[in-house]
Amino acid sequence: METIEKEILTLEGIDNHFNTWANLYQLGQRYIFKYKRVYELKWSKNSKTYYLEERKNLRVFNKLPYTLRGRFVAYNAAQANELLELDYFN
């Protein structure tokens, strides 16, 4: 169990412990807002790891970013919809 806790998984430049990604996924906080981009946290059954899929149509151009550069926040679908002021996520 110690090897999994110490394992660092880097997704789109975000370094986190494997367990942190697992906790976010299990809590339903699958929508990652990082600077001007939005990603969806997904689980790959084949490779048994997490990955981020970018939602390119939600990328911010000529507006204020979602977060400061180098920071990220994770939201569930309802919180993400409220932030975007859209009914985009289920």
At 10-57, the pLDDT tens digits run 888 888 899 999 999 999 999 999 999 999 999 999 999 999 999 999
pLDDT digits (tens, 9 = 90+) for 51-76: 999 999 999 988 899 999 999 999 99
Give the span between the Cα atoms of 44 and 69, in whole angstroms: 28
Beta bridge partners of 34: 37, 72
Indicate the residue type of 8: I
Residue 33's closest CA among 71, 2, 1, 5?
71
Nearest to 63 by CA among 39, 84, 90, 87: 84
DSSP lists the bridge partners of residue 16 as: 9
Q: What is the pTM of this model?
A: 0.84
